[in-house]
Structure 1
Amino acid sequence: MSSIKMNSCNSNNGESKNGTSNSLASVNHDLGLYFLELARLGSAKAPTEMEEDEEEAPKELNTINSSGGFLFVATDKLSVKYTSVNLHGHDVGVVQANKPAPVKRLLYYFEIYVKDAGAKGQIAIGFTQESFKMRRQPGWEANSFGYHGDDGFLYRGHGKGEAFGPTYTTGDTVGGGINYASQEFFFTKNGTIVGTVCVVKEIKGSLFPTVAVHSLNEEVHVNFGQKKFAFDLKEYEAQERLKQQMTIEKISLPPNISYGLVRSYLLHYGYEDTLNSFDLASKSTVPPIYIAKENGFDEQDIVYALNQRKTLRQLIRNGEIDAAISKLRDWYPQIVQDCGALLAYERPQESSVGYLLEESQRDVVADTVNAMILSTNPNMKDLQGCLHSYLEKLLRQLTACCLERRSANGDQGEAFHLHRVLNSGKDIKS
């Protein structure tokens, strides 16, 4: 398809009443540009999911913003020791991570190892905001949460704690995490979950992993993922995904709905042979599956020119461009000019539109031709009907709903990627 010339002429005389020829040319122009953009994007190196969602995660402690008078941070910026005498309740040694917890993911987690519980074991792990008062234990101030070692209490936003888990001391490994899917904080001890608290949504602004020490010789080492965690984070993540999948699978749908969507996809893209096999399989099930016309689509619009669209798709995917052009010239002369650019060059592979002949782009070319043929159907009601099958429209709606849900959670949680969802389903079943 040419990005410069997407003209179309009427198959009879080049003109018709009420500007039909101009209208068709405009439609084909829009269709061509749409698929050309897909081809260009496909030929460029697409960013990976991680590159799309990458956030700079904490790697070390912030030695600038800390209550430095009461603690010492080692040169590795991962070890903390309380070096003063605890005389007052506010003589706390607090230090935050150098970056806030990333939010564009399912989970965030970090750990501390208690090398020495010191005089009183008043160690705490939790999350605080950047503006947190750095002489207070995490959890003692609004928008902060902390799991404390001396009493095992959870503190959330005020000085009064609540029974939560066991105490921890020298030799223990304690972790703190955020589950963005369930909007919960969770804490662990020696690789086992202690408990969760559902309050993430209540907090406004970024959260920083935070550690506090509060009595002489208390010393902890922080692990932001540089070493293997004591807690099996991958297994926990897999269990969270399984919960989501099980919730989805509890939704019961009549078989003919999913069959109808698949059938409409095969019809839309001209996969006639696969469609015939699919119909045969549907009738051989027990009980047989029949697709009622009232299930959401007008089949006549996408049955249009099915055999011709199948033939052209096969030719294009096989790289038989000359044969495809010949068939188009015989069947749809009104759109064949839109394909002429590929033949206008002595070496089309080296031309500005040569990327369309790459094997990886043949499906895009075939989709373009398919859409343009559908656009010649006088009963086609709108351009979108040429572009996307009903299955694809449903998946677009699913993506929009997931984005809306994420927005409602303050843009927390991982972005929606369809192939990741589909692959997770395969992983769970296997």
Structure 2
Amino acid sequence: MEVDETCTEEPPLQEMSIEDQFRNRMRKLYPAVDESVTPLPRFWTSHKELSSKLIIQQGTRVEYKGPGSKGYKDAASARTNTEIPAVCGLYYFEITVISKGRDGYIGIGLVAYGDESQQLNAQQGVVRSGYNRLPGWDQDSFGYHGDDGNAFSKSAHGQKYGPIYGSGDVVGCCINMVNRTIFFTKNGSNLGIVFEDVPDKPMYPTVGLQTPGELIEANFGQKPFLFDFESYLADFRRDQIVQIKNFSIDDTDGSFQLKIQAIIANYLNYQGYSKAATAFEEATRTKCAVEAEATKKTRIGIVSCILKGELTEAIARLSADFPNLLENNHELVFQLKFQQLVEIIGGTESEMKNYKETEHSFGMLPASALQDFIDKGRHLREFVLESNSDNESMLKKINQIKKISTLLIDNDPSKSPAADLFEKSRRQKVATAVSAAIRQSQKLSARPKVAVLVNHVRLLHDTLLQRDIPQAAFTLPENFLNE
């Protein structure tokens, strides 16, 4: 009786804007990230005091314009506009070296610092903490440099790591926030993990330049990466799922198996599979609270009506078979009668049979159906205004009624701003609510135990997301439920 997972086709890439393509790609790479809460890095920023050294163009290009005559003192760096959300799990970005300039003193990497570090040291006349340094020279900073191929962390003296890079090369950086490691890539090849035990702090992608003519352009996901990050991410995600599946459960006393059997028996009874439930209970010697057979058949019949869009029939049967159910359940009454309006204005065949005229189509209803829609809409509005709902709930319901009323002037409701009202999942939600209310009236559990467990898992996952736990990127319930 739970919400049906439906798939929607995505428009071809050529029909999508660059922004939509970016969002689409990011959703696939980082499905646990909610950008309204934790936005992803999009463009470079630098300290205003370094504007004479660095020029940032279109947000992703960085060019060195300083003198480059004083060695490391002329270094300058840029970081992204925001930190990497922890719930990415793994995060990756690339730069293309358009020109290595005079000496190719280019560094790519990650740095941990906040806005409080973006200040001038009045006595020394230099920018503090990172902006006038190449990646890896400072505490909590990690870099891979192009002039010597060395990797740097907390020191201006690097360790041997990979090949040098320069004009035309594509270099990438990946941080794994689950096991706290960093690796780099060159021209699509993984150079291997170089930093471990990376501190659990907010990290920003960063790039540093030092000599005239150095020019790079970043790819934060605006276009496909040269390194096959999607496959790397999929492999890691698969390993995490296997680890969860193989988690050992101590069931020496058989109690876990008994719980699973009870859940299955409960579900079979809830769904009305009486013969299967009886056979399963006999085979496993499982006992669970049983719904009266007559009540179960009636409940499932009403639910079936709702799922088929027969709301008038469902409401009539509820009133006849459970006369007291709707008396004080204003929320359920609203859901039923609002869905009834949806089925009428949508020209659902099962609803149209209640009217004399036979000719109708989606968006072109017979006069009696239109008049009935208007009458029922007015009555529902009066019902809401007379209920004892709080102001916020009442306003929300009134706005829903206004929304569906706009369909009266649409020739094709399926293409209107209110088209989401016709999603079949809405029927499922109403059916679930009705089924739960009937069961509760019989002093039985409102939902099957398996649905409660699924909701519990989703709540736990939401808690992981709210606390920015990196593992949340690989423990999405859908990864297991949709296999």
Distance 1:68 1:396, change over 3 A: same
**2:215 counterpart of 1:226:** no
- Letter of the 1:370 counterpart: S
Distance 1:246 1:412, change over 3 A: closer
Distance 1:165 1:225, change over 3 A: same
Query: Contact conserved, 1:143 with 1:203, CA < 8 A, in 2?
Result: no
Query: Contact conserved, 2:94 with 2:171, CA < 8 A, in 1?
Result: yes
**2:92 counterpart of 1:109:** yes
Q: Flag structure 1 segments of 5+ consecutive residues without an equivalent.
A: 1-34, 39-47, 284-288, 426-430
Q: Which residue among 186, 208, 211 is the counterpart of 1:212?
A: 208
TM-score (norm 1): 0.67
SS in 2 for 1:238: helix
Distance, in Å, in 1 between the alignment partners of 2:247 and 2:429 is 34
C-alpha displacement of 1:234: 1.9
Distance, in Å, in 2 between the alignment partners of 1:80 and 1:278 is 70
Query: Contact conserved, 2:87 with 2:469, CA < 8 A, in 1?
Result: no
- Letter of the 1:397 counterpart: H
- Letter of the 1:250 counterpart: N
**2:169 counterpart of 1:172:** yes
Distance, in Å, in 2 between the alignment partners of 1:363 and 1:299 is 26
- Letter of the 2:237 counterpart: R
**Equivalent residue for 1:61?**
44
RMSD: 4.1
- Letter of the 2:453 counterpart: L
- Letter of the 2:82 counterpart: K
Query: Contact conserved, 2:32 with 2:88, CA < 8 A, in 1?
Result: no
**Equivalent residue for 1:236?**
232
Distance, in Å, in 1 between the alignment partners of 2:467 and 2:425 is 38
**Equivalent residue for 2:269?**
267
* 1:179-236 C-alpha deviation (Å, 9 max, x unpaired): 3444433321111222233445x2434x322111223443333233334321122222
TM-score (norm 2): 0.61
145-154 vs 77-86, greater mean Cα deviation = 77-86
Query: Contact conserved, 1:264 with 1:302, CA < 8 A, in 2?
Result: no
* 1:375-423 C-alpha deviation (Å, 9 max, x unpaired): 2335x4xxxx32x321122123322333444456557864975435534
**Equivalent residue for 2:391?**
none
C-alpha displacement of 1:278: 7.5
Distance, in Å, in 2 between the alignment partners of 1:252 and 1:412 is 19
SS in 2 for 1:89: helix
SS in 1 for 2:231: helix
Distance, in Å, in 2 between the alignment partners of 1:349 and 1:419 is 39
**Matches of residues 4-403 of structure 1 in structure 2 within 5 Å?**
52-54=34-36, 55-65=38-48, 67-74=50-57, 78-81=61-64, 83-128=66-111, 129-130=113-114, 131=117, 132-196=129-193, 197-200=195-198, 202-205=199-202, 207-251=203-247, 260-268=262-270, 271-273=271-273, 276=275, 290-291=283-284, 293=286, 299-300=288-289, 305-321=295-311, 323-325=313-315, 327-329=317-319, 331-335=321-325, 337=327, 347=373, 350=377, 351-352=380-381, 360-378=425-443, 380=444, 385-386=445-446, 388-403=447-462
Distance, in Å, in 1 between the alignment partners of 2:55 and 2:333 is 73
* 1:235-275 C-alpha deviation (Å, 9 max, x unpaired): 2222222222222332477887656534423433xx224x6
SS in 1 for 2:324: helix
- Letter of the 2:432 counterpart: D
C-alpha displacement of 1:73: 4.2
Greater RCO, CA 8 A, separation 6+:
1
SS in 2 for 1:335: coil
Query: Contact conserved, 1:82 with 1:214, CA < 8 A, in 2?
Result: no
Aligned length: 358
Distance, in Å, in 2 between the alignment partners of 1:358 and 1:117 is 54
Q: Flag structure 2 segments of 5+ consecutive residues without an equivalent.
A: 4-26, 118-128, 250-255, 342-371, 385-400, 405-420
Identity %: 26
Distance, in Å, in 1 between the alignment partners of 2:309 and 2:241 is 40
Distance 1:264 1:239, change over 3 A: same
